[in-house]
Structure 1
Amino acid sequence: MADLNTPSKKLSALVITYNEIGYIEKCINAISFADEIIVVDSYSTDGTFEYLENHPKVKAIQHPFENFTAQKSFAMNQATNDWILFVDADEVVSDKLQKEIKSTIENPNACEAYWFYRKFMFKDKHLRFSGWQTDKNHRLFRKSKVKFTDKKLVHESLEVDGSSCILNEKLTHFCYKNYDDYKGKMLKYGRLKAKEAFYKEKSFSYFAMLFRPAWKFFNHYIIRLGILDGKKGIIVCYLNALGVLERFKELKRLEKKNELTYFLVMP
């Protein structure tokens, strides 16, 4: 039998945070089975870092936030184990998922990375549709076999040297705390997506600014069955569309700023 105490079988659980005092306790409790817990905090102001700093099982580090990809890459570099479990501060690993993670990393024929499907929660109620029913992310992987792509600033993705598999149990994601919090999150994502587009030299379009948010809402609310989520579906689909609108508004601002800088430095 393989020695489960060897470094290859140990697990580092990683989280990045900013003002997550309402959820971080449940998150940490649910990953306490890991051999190492590292949380990289981008200077929270609500007591999140103080809670983490005083937690006996957590190594808390403060690091300035540039974008999600850079922050997660920094966190991964702090891990001492090859097997990494990456969760968001508003996510919870169920008991069944814990058992599946443990058995997976103990398997000598394990894949290099694993996708997790997620169960989305609107406050404490299950959000069954609204475009999220097929959402999945790489959350369990071997550090030596992956790297975060530098092509994305938000909704970061992994480049995997090897095979990817899917775990059966879902990760519970408390995506919606309240209206203002979710709105702020969508606007932030929209601005980061605009920077991605700007760096890729994609141009602002009035047509796209009008069409894409409307399509986002229609796609998630009608085609992806958000209508079946009732009032929850309307709110989430609207705010997701608002994030798309913000992407184009921010792209326009970036282009104007770039044009102004160009004319100011012209001889």
Structure 2
Amino acid sequence: MNNHNQKISALIITYNEIGYIEACIDSVSFADEILVVDSYSTDGTYEYLLQHPKVKVVQHPFSNFTLQKTFALSQAKYNWILFLDADEIVPEGLKNEIKDTVQLDSPHAAYWFYRKFMFEKKALRFSGWQTDKNYRLFQKDKARFSDKKIVHETLEVDGTSGILNEKLIHYCYKNYEDYKGKMIKYGQLKAKEDFYREKSFNYLYYFLKPAWKFFNHYILRLGILDGKKGITICYLNALGVLERFRELKRLERKNALAYYLLMP
């Protein structure tokens, strides 16, 4: 790519991603810049990235996903941004589609990617993920991450959006404990988001929403057809919703106690 406006900055945020980040980096080697923002990994991820000849890595403390990605975006050199999670891989067909899209002076400000979810090394065909899509390619001067969300961050786009045909591969499930920890963390961050928006804990939602999440993904979204993989994923996704309400209740109690202690 000779034109500066057609160059791509590939951005990734990491924390303890050794064993996954290597394949991710290899899959975006076509980018003109690979920038990784690491939140002080302890498993060798940072050391690996430091030694990689194609990678620029900086460390930055993690507060939430939106702030971390916004920081990464501020460090990017080029206007076209390819933003990936460390456990995502760009296959050959998608790589070519990305390059063609950028080189052909795209009319769109951003592009959605559909994702192929992998349960360990096997594809997850249903379980609510079959229609999942995310913004992954966009022009930096026409997009920003919304400050209204701190998890499952939202990209606000000034302009039109397109959808690429090829799918991104997402190795979402490493093992049971890792995915469980991820869902609990997401639930806790979502609770903080609710708390900041002054949403109150509700016992009805506490019982109904996790049950609905499981029923919706396992039955209505056909997780049952994914076999044991489906029931595991749907259960852990519902657990994340349950943790959201548990954490919201803890935050309200903590806030009430602080208020009581500060009363004259």
TM-score, normalising length: structure 1: 0.98
4+ runs of 1 displaced by more than 4 Å? none
Aligned twin of 1:75: 72
Decide which of 194, 197, 206 is 1:197's aligned counterpart: 194
Q: Is 1:132 aligned with 2:141?
A: no
Aligned twin of 2:184: 187
SS in 2 for 1:133: coil
Aligned twin of 2:92: 95
Residue type at the aligned position of 1:184 = G
Decide which of 217, 222, 226 is 1:220's aligned counterpart: 217
CA drift at 1:72:
0.3
CA drift at 1:118:
0.1
Q: Matched residues in 2 for 1:66 and 1:80: separation? A: 23
Q: Matched residues in 1 for 2:206 and 2:135: separation? A: 30
Q: Matched residues in 1 for 2:76 and 2:119: separation? A: 32
Is the Cα contact below 8 Å between 1:104 and 1:110 reproduced in 2? no
CA drift at 1:246:
0.2
Aligned twin of 2:246: 249
Q: Matched residues in 1 for 2:60 and 2:164: separation? A: 31
Q: Matched residues in 1 for 2:114 and 2:23: separation? A: 19
Q: Provide closer, same or farther for how the CA distance between residues 48 and 109 of structure 1 changes in structure 2, counting only shifts above 3 A.
A: closer
CA drift at 1:69:
0.4
Structure 2 counterparts to residues 140-155 of structure 1, below 5 A: 140-155=137-152
CA drift at 1:22:
1.4
Q: Is 1:162 aligned with 2:173?
A: no
Residue type at the aligned position of 2:8 = L
Decide which of 25, 28, 33 is 2:25's aligned counterpart: 28
Percent of aligned positions with the same letter in both sequences? 71
Q: How many residues align?
A: 264
Aligned twin of 2:175: 178
Greater mean deviation of Cα atoms: 100-109 or 216-225? 100-109
Q: Matched residues in 2 for 1:194 and 1:109: separation? A: 38
Residue type at the aligned position of 2:200 = S
Q: Matched residues in 1 for 2:127 and 2:148: separation? A: 27
Residue type at the aligned position of 2:250 = R
CA drift at 1:109:
3.6
